[in-house]
Amino acid sequence: MYPDLSYILHDLFGTPVDNFTAVVKTFGLFLALSFLASAYLLQLELKRKAAQGLFPTTIIKDERGNLVEAYPHDRVADITMIAGICGVLGAKIFAMLESANAIRNFMSDPIHYFFSGSGLAIYGGLIGGFIGVYWFISKKLKMNPLYMMDAVAPALMIGYAVGRIGCQLSGDGDWGIVSGQMPAGWFLPKWMWAHDFARNVIYEKGHPFPMGVETIAGFEGIYNSRLNPGVYPTPFYETIITGLLTALLWFLRKRLAVAGQLFMVYLILNGVERFFIEKIRVNDKIHAFGITFTQAEMIAVIITIIGIVGYFVLPMTQKKVEQSNT
């Protein structure tokens, strides 16, 4: 694994680990890249929809202070910044609510909890980012939110895919359960079935390791542990799956005529993907109503239902609007 840039350079050139280049954290780097990838796809879609006449212009000040007309694709930097701030806030809040232990950690030191680099729930980030962007486009840009929701659907999916690369490369704990015996006939690299996440960012040198974690003999870096036995590399699986789902959404974006339907498809795809990946992920369990589930499973079921209902309700709503206008 590559907790930071120093570990990448160590493997490439043999330079020492944990030097000044360690300031560049791998997870943070890919988090930034995920925002850039999302912003790129979003800008492409906003330009396409603006050319169709679906978005109004707004009046803003340029760098010289002059009032000019701007399309939504001219405000991608603003949208991305709002999504980032609200997303991190949502990720922190949802991570705090994942377990009783997380709530205790927050209550003991709320300032440190919110400003630390750990403790982020990706669903909380998506929900927080959605709320912030929805407010911005509907209240500030005076746009039809459904058009923006469709434009942002492929962007959200590619951001998820790129972000999971950071989880895989840094070993941030978003891995799977013990994978067990490799099936007969497995022809792919062994690590795709059972990964030890060597030099992961969770367990540092000098701290007691839990069961299933051991020291890497002969390695002197701060991050010198590996998992034993190996686990499913679920971030890798999710990167592949959500990358393919991004391509599917990109294919469908010109083929669903009803505003909002593409976003509903995104909710369905995201919900189904996350629900089933949770079956092989390590996560805090919630016990309620006689069943055991994770926070992500609960949210996945909710957004899948919203997606299915919305997909079929939106065409009927549009038809009623068209009839009332005739």
SS (H, E, C) 145-190: HHHHHHHHHHHHHHHHHHHHHHHHHHCCCCCECECCCCCCCCCCCH
Per-residue model confidence (pLDDT) at position 73: 82
- Evaluate whether residue 139 is within a structural domain: yes
Question: For residue 227, what are the domain limits?
Answer: 5-182+189-321
Per-residue model confidence (pLDDT) at position 280: 95
Per-residue model confidence (pLDDT) at position 168: 95
Average pLDDT over residues 11-24: 94
Name every residue whose Cβ is closer than 8 Å to that of residue 45 and which is 6 or more positions away in sequence.
150, 151, 152, 154, 155, 253
Per-residue model confidence (pLDDT) at position 238: 97
Dist CA 16 CA 221 (whole Å): 9
Higher local confidence (pLDDT), 274 or 98 = 274
The Cβ-side half-sphere exposure at 63, using a 13 Å CA radius, reads 0
Per-residue model confidence (pLDDT) at position 53: 87
Per-residue model confidence (pLDDT) at position 22: 94
State what percent of residues in the chain have pLDDT above 90.
53
Per-residue model confidence (pLDDT) at position 315: 92
Note the Cα 251 to chain centre separation in Å.
Answer: 21
DSSP assignment of 225-262, as one string? EEESS-B--HHHHHHHHHHHHHHHHHHHTTT--STTHH
Statement: residue 325 has pLDDT above 80: no
- Evaluate whether residue 326 is within a structural domain: no
Per-residue model confidence (pLDDT) at position 222: 93
Dist CA 303 CA 268 (whole Å): 7
Per-residue model confidence (pLDDT) at position 111: 72
Dist CA 176 CA 162 (whole Å): 18
- Evaluate whether residue 217 is within a structural domain: yes
Q: How confident is the model at residue 206 (pLDDT cuts 50, 70, 90)?
A: confident
Q: How confident is the model at residue 321 (pLDDT cuts 50, 70, 90)?
A: low
The torsion angles phi and psi of 74, rounded to 5 degrees, stand at -80, -10
DSSP state of 214: E
- Evaluate whether residue 65 is within a structural domain: yes
Per-residue model confidence (pLDDT) at position 323: 58
Higher local confidence (pLDDT), 42 or 287 = 42
Q: How confident is the model at residue 98 (pLDDT cuts 50, 70, 90)?
A: low
Tally of domains in the chain: 1
Q: How confident is the model at residue 322 (pLDDT cuts 50, 70, 90)?
A: low
Contact 132, 87 (CB under 8 A): yes
Per-residue model confidence (pLDDT) at position 114: 65
Dist CA 128 CA 134 (whole Å): 10
Tokens encoding 133:
């962007």
Statement: residue 116 has pLDDT above 60: no
State what percent of residues in the chain have pLDDT above 70.
93
Higher local confidence (pLDDT), 58 or 145 = 145
- Evaluate whether residue 169 is within a structural domain: yes
AA letter at 162 = V
Higher local confidence (pLDDT), 61 or 25 = 25
Per-residue model confidence (pLDDT) at position 288: 80
- Evaluate whether residue 142 is within a structural domain: yes
Between helix 145-170 and helix 261-277 the angle, nearest 10°, is 30
Which secondary structure element, helix H or strand E, spans residue 6, and what is its range?
helix 5-13
- Evaluate whether residue 194 is within a structural domain: yes
